[in-house]
Chains A and B, each alone.
Chain A
Amino acid sequence: MHSPKTRHDIGFYAHFRRELSLARCAFDATIAPLVFMFMGVAVIPLALSPDTVSYSSIAPGIVWIMVMLASLMSIERIFTFDYDDGSLEQLLISPQLLAQPIFGKLVAHWVLTGLPMALASPMMAFVLSLPAEGYLPMILSIVIGTAYLSLVGSVCASLTVSLGRGGFLLPITVIPLYMPIIIFGSATIDFAVSGMEWSFPLAIMGTLLCLAMAVCPIAVATIFRFTILF
């Protein structure tokens, strides 16, 4: 027998594990965003010039733009399958708190996309000849930043879920909300490269992440209650 309290916890872990096991063999969830990210980086020298020296100054910006785009592409379908096969409706009518399983899904999404991006980012920084002191801040900023992007992106993804492929609607609505994280994320790397105290922008990113963690799962749950159960 479970008491109501443990049932909430099961909501989180069950959905966290469910997402992980669903995606374990899926190329789509983890590898594709990374490939996309690297291809985007590879296009930039072709468009500008093969002179690697000039990249070190714009590398933080390029890294963050590619992370944002990859995260954007992957967040679009986070709720689509659950919406299509009806398990989202099952969640809505179940007695447990809806925000818990949604938070589990989001954490799983971050583990599957954000964390690999952060771990793979040194390769990107390497080809863009980012100075060595920028590596650690870059990884940390991507770890924190992608979690924020997943959380905030999921709010807009929950609005567009009934459209299936929303096309341009998701990017249009979500990119303005991503701007603070782009600013502070690239600033973290910039500060580290130019020898300034880089923990300050990183701390602001952490603050934003805490705020998003508190608000976004509840917001997504509320949106589903508003829009799916009329």
Chain B
Amino acid sequence: MAHRILVIFEKPIMLSFEPSDPHLFATALGVADTPLEISLLLRDSAVTYAVSAQAPSARILGQEIAPSGTTPARLVTFMLEHGAVVRVVREDLEERGIPPSLLVTGVRVVGRSETADIFAENDGVILW
């Protein structure tokens, strides 16, 4: 039986008529509503999910397509509050010029060389 699950995000999805990336809130549901021990690894462009000051907005005919104002960062915060470990890859942050000070509080920054060990710590890996 798999109990420790690593969920990896690589490519962000924004403004898709969902409140946020559906993979992200599917993961949040797993964190909040199941006994599984779920952790996240944000790499490649998905490191932006951990940036705290996101404000995605799109209006069509004056109507916000995602009126709840949900951001990936809010979902990351929600998952941290529900006990999930959230990691981002330092090199992917650096390549994009994102300093760790911009990240949601509680997100851990790890080196790319550490990711193999993180995989090994888990029973299962989901790559969205």
Tell me, yes or no, whether A binds B: no
Name B residues whose Cβ lies closer than 8 Å to a Cβ of A.
Answer: none
